[in-house]
C-alpha cells in the first residue's frame, strides 16, 4: 500500500479549525504529488445535481454548510480531487490522503467537516462493477453518512467501531440495516476510555467471521485516527499499536484493501498512526510502538454488555 496525495488538499482551510491543512504537513515534506483527474464526474455516483451545485456554490461564496463544516474558494476543487483520489486508491489498493474527509456526509447533507463522502463514492463505483465490499470504519466518530448511504444494500457490509455516546449521536446497536440491507450494518459502539485490549479482541473475532460469511471482493478502510488517546475531540484510549494491529489483521484476511483518510486531530500523532496502519498492511514492523492500553473494569464490563447485545441483534443474519 502506497500513498495518494496532492497539494490541492492543503488549500481547503479555515483559521483555527481542527480539520486543518497541518494534518498533512508531515507527508507534504516527502511525498511526491499524485496527478489526479477532475473527480467531479464521480460525484453523481452518490449525489444528485442539485446537491453538487449546492456544495459548489457554498465553496465559491466561502460559506459554512453547518456550524462545523466550512468551505473556502478551493474546497469544491479539493473535494472533487478527493473523490478522484479515492477512486484511484480503490483501483490500486492504496491509501488516499485526502481532505476534506467524508464519512459524515450523507447523500443529501454535508456535515461533520465532510463535504462529499469519499469512501462511499469509491465503494459505489465498485458495487456498480459487481463487487461486494466490506467497509471497516475505525474512525472514533460514527460514520453516519456512510451507514445511511448503504443502509439498504446487501452488497456493502458496513462495520464501524466508534465512541458512543459522541458526535453525531448515531451508531447504536439497533442500527443494523433495513430491507435487503438488514444485518449488513455492524456497529460496535465503544464506551469512553476503551483501550487496545477490548478493541482488538472484538475486531479479531468479527473480521474472520465476515471473511468467511460475507466474502468481500474488496475491503475499504475508512481510516480515522481520533480514537487515539491523544486526540482532543474524543475520549477513547487506543494507541498506535491498535492501528498497526488493525492493518495486520486486514492484510492477513484480505487481498484487496484500500483506505481513505477520515479524522484524527492530534498533529503530533496523526502521521504516526497512519504510517503504522500502513506498516501493518504492508507486513512491515511498526515504527512508533506505544505501551498497550487496557480498559478498566467498569469500561470493560460496559463494553462486554454492548457486545452481547450486538450479537443478539445480529444472530439472525450471521453465525456469531
According to CATH, the topology of domain 3-314 is 3.40.800
Domain borders along the chain are: 3-314
| Residue in 12, 51, 58, 104 annotated catalytic | 104
Chain centroid offset of residue 319 CA: 26
| pTM over 0.75, yes/no | yes
Residue 104 falls in the annotated catalytic set? yes
Query: Burial of 121 by CB count in 10 Å (0-12 exposed, 13-18 middle, 19+ buried)?
Result: buried
Cβ(91)–Cβ(81) below 8 Å: no
Which residues, including other chains, have CB under 8 Å from residue 259's CB and lie 6 or more apart? Answer: 1, 89, 94, 95, 96, 220, 221, 222, 223, 277, 278
Q: At what angle do helices 118-128 and 75-92 cross, to 10 degrees?
A: 40
pLDDT digits (tens, 9 = 90+) for 198-229: 999 999 999 999 999 999 999 999 999 999 99
Provide the grid cell at 134.
466490506
Cis peptide before 168 (omega within 30 of 0): yes
Q: Note down pLDDT in tens along the chain; length 320 residues.
A: 999 999 999 999 999 999 999 999 999 988 999 999 999 999 999 999 999 999 999 999 999 999 999 999 999 999 999 999 999 999 999 999 999 999 999 999 999 999 999 999 999 999 999 999 999 999 999 999 999 999 999 999 999 999 999 999 999 999 999 999 999 999 999 999 999 999 999 999 999 999 999 999 999 999 999 999 999 999 999 999 999 999 999 999 999 999 999 999 999 999 999 999 999 999 999 999 999 999 999 999 999 999 999 999 999 999 98
Count of Cβ atoms closer than 10 Å to residue 131 Cβ: 16
d(CA 199, CA 160): 11
Amino acid at each position: 500500500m502506497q500513498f495518494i496525495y496532492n497539494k490541492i488538499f492543503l488549500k481547503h482551510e479555515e483559521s483555527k479549525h481542527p480539520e486543518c491543512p497541518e494534518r498533512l504537513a508531515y507527508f507534504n515534506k516527502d511525498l511526491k504529488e499524485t496527478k489526479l483527474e477532475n473527480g467531479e464526474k464521480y460525484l453523481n455516483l452518490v449525489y444528485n445535481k442539485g446537491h453538487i451545485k449546492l456544495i459548489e456554490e457554498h465553496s465559491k461564496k466561502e460559506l459554512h454548510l453547518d456550524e462545523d463544516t466550512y468551505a473556502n474558494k478551493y474546497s469544491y476543487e479539493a473535494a472533487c480531487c478527493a473523490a478522484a483520489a479515492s477512486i484511484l486508491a480503490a483501483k490500486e489498493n492504496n491509501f488516499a490522503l485526502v481532505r476534506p474527509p467524508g464519512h459524515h456526509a450523507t447523500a443529501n447533507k454535508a456535515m461533520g467537516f465532510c463535504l462529499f463522502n469519499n469512501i462511499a463514492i469509491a465503494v459505489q463505483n465498485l458495487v456498480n462493477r459487481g463487487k461486494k465490499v466490506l467497509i471497516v470504519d475505525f474512525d472514533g466518530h460514527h460514520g453516519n453518512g456512510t451507514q445511511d448511504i448503504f443502509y439498504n444494500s446487501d452488497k456493502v457490509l458496513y462495520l464501524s467501531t466508534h465512541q458512543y455516546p459522541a458526535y453525531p449521536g448515531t451508531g447504536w446497536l439497533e442500527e443494523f440495516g433495513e430491507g435487503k440491507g438488514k444485518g449488513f450494518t455492524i456497529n460496535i459502539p465503544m464506551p469512553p476510555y476503551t483501550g487496545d485490549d477490548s478493541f482488538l479482541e472484538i475486531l479479531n473475532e468479527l473480521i474472520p467471521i465476515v471473511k468467511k460469511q460475507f466474502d468481500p471482493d474488496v475491503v475499504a478502510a475508512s481510516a480515522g485516527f481520533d480514537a487515539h488517546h491523544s486526540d482532543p475531540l474524543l475520549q477513547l484510549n487506543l494507541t498506535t499499536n491498535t492501528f498497526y494491529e488493525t492493518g495486520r489483521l486486514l492484510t492477513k484476511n484480505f487481498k484487496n484493501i484500500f483506505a481513505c483518510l477520515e479524522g484524527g486531530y492530534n498533529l503530533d500523532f496523526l502521521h504516526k498512526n497512519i504510517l503504522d496502519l500502513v506498516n501493518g498492511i504492508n507486513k512491515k514492523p511498526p515504527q512508533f510502538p506505544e505501551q498497550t492500553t487496557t480498559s478498566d473494569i467498569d469500561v470493560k464490563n460496559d463494553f462486554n454488555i454492548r457486545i452481547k447485545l450486538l450479537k443478539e441483534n445480529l444472530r439472525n443474519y450471521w453465525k456469531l
